[in-house]
Structure 1
Amino acid sequence: MDRVTAPPVRLQTEGTLATLTLQRGERANALTADMVDLMLSGVEAAQAAACTVLVIRSAERQFCGGFDLGLDTSDPTASAVLTLRFLRIGLLLERVMTSGMLTIAAVEGPAIGAGADLVAACDVRIGTERARFRFPGSAFGVVLGVSRLSQLVGPARAVQLGASGAVLDARAASASGLLTEVVADGRLEDAVRETVDAVHRSPGVLAALKEATQQRDPAGLGSLARSLARSPDLAGSLAHYTRGSLPGPARCQHDER
């Protein structure tokens, strides 16, 4: 595939299976505004096609480096733009969680920040032994995906992970409930296919199952909005975080390859 012209997100459907592939490997799949919009459109298109399973994966050996900070933070409108972008990511997480599809995250390599939140939003979360996770958003005042993380690992553990920004390797993620399965390198495709083949329910039934097990605000959009409201200088907070945490010119939330 031509990497120059390839879109950063690709949707493929095969019968009742839909696959969303992140393919912005040169930036560790850090999420731009366009990528989030493409993913939202992809989820809606998969639902419209009556797909029963949605797999979210990467074309590279890294899942997602989080929120891409490629924005001039000195622009007076930067904080407003960033606020909208975070809310759109929150909406994407909600769409993934409440869709009438079984959602599967296929994770290889790092999933950082919004990338880790995207994994947590999925119903089934399969990772290789190279998978690792980090939730640094609270370092710049943004509470994204914590509601769902709390459902998976428990409130105390979710607070600790958010407050410390600690890295979870695959085994720790499995033990805590963030990953549902850890597989050896080279076994990810087989494990995903086995999970897909085991699904024999309609989208309506799957949606009902998911609704019955979720909180009223599964993605924590209310908490996200409140955290953003408490951060009037979000651009300044992000600029400070980037200068203090990332080596070199990288401007995305990930700091691991």
Structure 2
Amino acid sequence: MDRSSSDALGARAGEGAEPSVPPDDPAGELAPGRRLALDVHQRLRAMILNGELPPGSVVPQAAMARELGVSRTPMREAFRLLQEEGLICARPDQRARVRAVDPEDLDDVYGTRIVLESLAVTVTAPTLTAEDLDRMADALRRMRELADTGGVDDWHAVHKEFHRIPTQAVGVHMERMLASLAEQSERYTRLAHLGGPVSCARADQEHEALLTALRAHDPAEAVRVLARHFARTGLSMLADLSPEYEPRSTRTGLAMVIGGGFPA
């Protein structure tokens, strides 16, 4: 593939999305093959998140490689990254598919996210500077503006930035796990079309409460706000997508974090 094709793919891949994995080379010295694989990954990820590749659809490597004008090697690496993020599933000798809506998976994602992100906030809160909190406030302001203008893709990008700041002190391994959970959460929130006036207003209040607790140097309150925020989001989606499902993981994670005991 010539340079112009590669540049065009990179431009398309970056629309409305940022890499879900930390950069392997902050200095910008990635090998061309690795850079291309990440560009392909971003493009496919965007297609999954925006519904261009809907849940359950087959994603054939060879056909996608031809469509995007790349070889099979970067396509295989892109597929590997998508599998790690839980966006596609593939068994040996079978074609990959976009993961279908699975209430058990959604429940596990939010139960795990409640526990891990609460730990990350507890670790990070004492290290946050005034500049960090100002960055959170700026992200919250931009989220409000984007909610008013309907910039869904940009809102999700800023939303991830907002939640990343109060967890930034964790190590690389946990950072990757949190990024993967955030990706899966975003996919479900998009599928559930969460974004009505009531939902947005409540989420905004919870984001403001999280920032207020961190400014007050009250990590315990910050964790309570965060845990309830994720629980409300996950439980709302489960009620909408699968009202008959009993969300044990989400409720148990919430009980563990806020100290309300374990569900019977």
Compute the TM-score of the two structures, normalised by the length of structure 2.
0.26
Compute the TM-score of the two structures, normalised by the length of structure 1.
0.26
Mark the structure with the bigger radius of gyration: 2
- Greater strand proportion: 1
- Greater helix proportion: 2
